[in-house]
Amino acid sequence: LLAINVYIWMAMAPAVHLTSMIGELNETIVSLCRIAEILEAETMATSRKGRGPALSKPCAIEFRDVTFSYAPDVPLYCGLSLKIPADKMVAVVGPTGCGKTTLVSLLMRYWDPQEGDVLVNGVDVRDVDLGRLRGLFGIVSQDSTVFEGTIAWNIAYGLPHASREDIEAAARAAEVMDFADKLPEGLDAMLGTRGVKLSLGERQRLTIARAIIKDPAILIMDEATAALDSHSESLIQKAIKNVLKGRTSLVIAHRLTTITRADMIVVIDKGKIVDTGRHEELLTRAGLYSRLYNELRMGNMEAIS
């Protein structure tokens, strides 16, 4: 009987293996199709004027009469205009799907507007080389990317010539040393793929350190504290204060507590700017910001998703 079972298994094993291979083959086909789509996609022109002018700090940003839609005949923005002064922190809030993150996509030329202009220091971003344009930005998002390697290597990612002193300074400013000092190897501790050894708050601080060491002219913070507990957010807020110094900052936040110290708050609803002002000013008005803030205080954490 034992021999029969062994022979049956030997006969079935190839069939079982073939079944798993079919699933893997389907995944491979989908991946290859996606790669083919990317390779065949039309390349966005890097610039209408060659490399274009060099841009440097301080950077003022302007959206001038911008009309944009993802789908034909369904405009998200219709004549949107917004000025972001140099070296100021401007926060953008609004309900889910109102068009907050699209501002960043247009600014960094992931998309171009159908009408209107997006300007940095008075220069249309379409007239600046893509590499030169995107080199102005540092980004801190909710999804912190961490690679397999040391903490120090992750902080200096993309900057191979960064000095140890610069890495340590960025780590201190971003509160990375709060957890790195507890590790035997310190900043030389190895991290697993996607930072599996770190908490969400620790990964977020690592991303902020990466932005600090790059010293970007423009800082983009997209939902940077949306998924953190209050203790982690407190540490992140310390790090954020350090990274905001001396640069233009555009903050897109789910938590209104993140942006109450902004120099200007822009409230967007259905692709339109419905209000602007400082936190205290907006609370005195019976507008969308006041409603969202009050709902948040009452515990409705999904008021701004």
Q: Is the pLDDT of residue 231 over 80?
A: no
Q: What is the pLDDT of residues 247-275, one digit of tens each?
A: 899 988 766 666 788 899 999 998 899 99
List the domain boundaries for the chain.
1-41, 87-101+126-297
**Dist. CA 147–CA 128, nearest whole Å:** 30
CA distances from 93 to 33, 155, 250 (A): 37, 29, 11
CA distances from 138 to 134, 193, 218, 255, 280 (A): 9, 22, 6, 21, 28
CA distances from 50 to 19, 121, 128 (A): 53, 18, 7
Q: What is the pLDDT of residues 58-112, one digit of tens each?
A: 899 999 999 999 988 888 999 999 999 999 999 998 888 888 889 999 999 999 9
Here the tokens at position 114 are 């159908």
Does an H or E element contain 105, and which? Answer: helix 100-107
The CATH architecture one would assign to domain 87-101+126-297 is: 3-Layer(aba) Sandwich (3.40)
Q: Closest Cα to residue 219, out of 45, 84, 93?
A: 84
Q: What is the pLDDT of residues 9-18, one digit of tens each?
A: 777 777 767 7
Binning pLDDT at 50, 70 and 90, where does residue 303 land? very low
CB atoms within 10 A of CB 77: 25
Can you tell me the mean pLDDT for 114-129? 93
Q: What is the pLDDT of residues 124-147, one digit of tens each?
A: 999 998 988 998 998 888 777 888
100 CB contacts (<8 Å, ≥6 apart)? Answer: 92, 93, 94, 252, 268
pLDDT at 60: 94
